[in-house]
Chain A
């Protein structure tokens, strides 16, 4: 296949005990579609060369053809483990470009959702990592909680994970009392499950031995390899956009940034575990202080469809509706470029939008954390055993749809 992937053998003697092993692209332990070419000597990995692009579906090209509201449906499919975080990242970027400031209630709801997305992402990541290293029970616990989260999302917007919930300058709907009730329930039940998973894994000898000291990333390497998010924080980089440049409503809440200095798979797992508790704290505070008021920007901004009672009963509502649905009549975007990022579960998820004045982006670049993290895979794997591949892959949380876009 790919010709450049395999170099000719150095010499026959060197090659004697070396194998080339193909891993993927359809392999249960990759969880997603990626391929790794391994050079192994016995059980030891000499070289691991990732080959990706098995799910490259042209997201950025579509971004140049769908308008700012339509493209949110495509961002769902990017990191499908936590689609709400992508929705929020995209529309934060668009709002930053257009200079729209969303109402406080919208900010709070988005914050709650971003944190729920973080919990769901970390649950899957840790659960799958545990599954691959042989701890099936923890995976079932995690998946059960994810099912609860899906129900919450379904109450909110009618879809389990293709949510498309945000709009330019607001949300699809306001949160209903039922949603809030469900989130309360989740916040109440989750610590127990969290404790269960911790008890199952934290001192589980097999799990600890398979992850501790594996795939170590030092702080300097983390910086030089552009790592962000839990992967970087497990290596001692304290950067967290929620604290460093508070967006949405993060400035209002009291929470900690979880860090560790060891930087191996086990500590990435621990950082994720603890981040879930911090997320829970944020959700709790946001729920208690959820402000009343509108979720969408005022009608005069011409950014979002006014609600139906306005459309039918007032002339301004009708005009606004008409202008928003007409192409080239809705909001005006400045001819400008901007980069806006949020702290997504996986790391810094940013969009670089270039606008040429129309309501479709001229270029919609996404900074995908998975792509950048997976790039260091071969570095992390050097000298480890074949069985460590799944631990490292699991702890990097590589989602193919975000990796390849």
Chain B
């Protein structure tokens, strides 16, 4: 059957449309604890201007945000605060772990620094560097946008998948014996852009 569509009408899936809306208006919650926070500020400032990617609305209230950027080391005393703020953010939400410290503990392999926040909260993107340059953070945001577009669904089904529930690799080394099988990487879902 032949259907003719007027020029400015296109057909897409609702999931793609929702993801497309979400990815272009990420509102970051800057969880800036240490030096990386300075680069986070620089990313928001005029020279690097993260507004070009629709992620400039830094809000300090977790209730208004959907992207948590953890910039800097998280220590024992801070971790419960971090978890609480994460729990306060409404769905759908994502998390970027910015810098070596937030991702792995970085140079601070000491008694008080948490060796990677992904042991305690789910993380979607890791940004290496100490500190990462603003360009790197912007790249992470772009990658996250791709990811949202790729697997996002209207009802947030992608968060329910089994792969997302598994603890991260870093945690497994601690909790289970070394010989336990590593988790498989996330399946790559073909790009279904708008």
Contacts and interface: CB of A to CB of B under 8 A. Distances in A.
A162 B131 contact: yes
A143 B45 contact: yes
Contacts of A76: 35
B134 to A, nearest CB: 9
Contacts of B60: 26-28
A23 interface: no
Interface string A209-237: 00000000000000000000000000000
A95 to B, nearest CB: 23
B110 interface: yes
A80 interface: yes
Interface string B114-132: 0000000000000000110
Given A57-B113, A147-B47, A80 B75 contact: no
A57 B113 CA distance: 6
Interface string B44-76: 011100000000000010000000000011011
A26 B82 CA distance: 9
- Chain B, interface residues (CB within 8 Å), range: 20 to 34
A61 interface: yes
A56 B38 CA distance: 18
Contacts of A73: 107
B176 interface: no
A136 to B, nearest CB: 12
Given A161-B35, A162-B35, A57 B131 contact: no
Most buried by A among B60, B73, B77: B77
Interface in A145-204: 147, 160-162
Given A27-B60, A77-B35, A56 B131 contact: no
Nearest to B105: A57
- Chain A, interface residues (CB within 8 Å), range: 20 to 34
Contacts of B78: 25, 33, 54-55
Contacts of A143: 45
Interface string A16-37: 0000000001111000110000
A299 to B, nearest CB: 29
A62 interface: yes
Interface string B61-105: 000000000001101111001000100000000000000000000
Nearest to A83: B35
B47 to A, nearest CB: 6
Contacts of A162: 35, 130-131
Contacts of A54: 33, 75, 77-78, 81
A401 interface: yes
B31 interface: yes
Given A26-B60, A57-B112, A58-B112, A77 B34 contact: yes
Contacts of B130: 162
Contacts of B46: 140
B46 to A, nearest CB: 8
A316 B55 CA distance: 56
A53 interface: yes
Contacts of B33: 32-33, 54-55, 400
Given A26-B60, A61-B110, A162-B130, A55 B81 contact: no
A74 interface: yes
Nearest to B39: A160
A140 B42 CA distance: 11
Contact of A58 (B35, B39, B85, B113): B113
A55 B73 contact: yes
Contacts of B38: 80-81, 161
Contacts of A77: 34-35, 107
Contacts of A55: 33-34, 72-73, 75, 78
Interface of B: 31, 33-35, 38-39, 42, 45-47, 60, 72-73, 75-78, 81, 85, 107-108, 110-113, 130-131, 133
24 contacts: A25-B78, A26-B81, A53-B77, A54-B33, A54-B75, A55-B34, A55-B73, A55-B78, A56-B77, A57-B108, A57-B112, A58-B112, A61-B111, A62-B110, A73-B107, A77-B34, A80-B38, A81-B38, A143-B45, A147-B45, A147-B47, A162-B131, A400-B33, A401-B35
Question: What 3 pairs across the A-B complex have the smallest Cβ distances?
Answer: A58-B110, A80-B35, A28-B60
